[in-house]
Amino acid sequence: MKIAILGSGRGSNAEAILEAQQAGQLGNARVVAIFCDIPGARILELGPRFGISALQPDPGPFKTKFPPEVETRWVEAIHATGADFLVLAGFMRVIKKPLLTAFTNRIINLHPSLLPSFPGLDGIGQAWRYGVKVSGCTVHYVNDTVDGGAIIDQAVVRREDTDTLETFAGKIHAAEHKLLPKVIRQLSKKEA
């Protein structure tokens, strides 16, 4: 299973995946490239650090989606790396047919809530404002509905009375860093 990670920001989840890979904890999976849609995003620094390609194809004029012709160019760039599986880790664009068709049932996303609760932007903030006592993170397959694909696995995080939004978010991010490599390892065993 050759993975391309797509991200838009710091890359903390991508880093967790790459550290798991270095430790031999990704099973039959191997990250071959990182793709980013934001110029200068920290995730791009992970490529040289871990000896893989870090690419930033033109994302087009919109901030939250690709025009179809741009998304088609992303498909071509991803295929050129040999990747056959996509992991969305903090990727802040809605993907559509070109990618969904090229990687049918081979795209997973990490979302910072226990889906189906609090889909979309700011899952942690949504859960916090609602006052939930339990939240967490979800890894799911990507389909044409935002955060609507089949759930693969989840990790639960309890909100304590002493938590602030920042400490609560920190606990969820720590859970994400464990869950995503675990799911990749499990899926890679099915591929073998």
User: Which positions are catalytic?
Assistant: 111
Spatial separation of the C-alpha atoms in residues 183 and 153, rounded to whole Å = 7
Spatial separation of the C-alpha atoms in residues 119 and 116, rounded to whole Å = 6
Decide the pairing of beta strands 2-7 and 85-88. parallel
**Strand ranges (E), 29-105:** 30-36, 53-55, 85-88
Spatial separation of the C-alpha atoms in residues 100 and 55, rounded to whole Å = 20
CA atoms within 13 Å, Cβ hemisphere of 186: 10
Spatial separation of the C-alpha atoms in residues 86 and 35, rounded to whole Å = 10
Spatial separation of the C-alpha atoms in residues 95 and 6, rounded to whole Å = 11
CA atoms within 13 Å, Cβ hemisphere of 128: 16
Q: Which residues pair with 138 in a beta bridge?
A: 111, 154
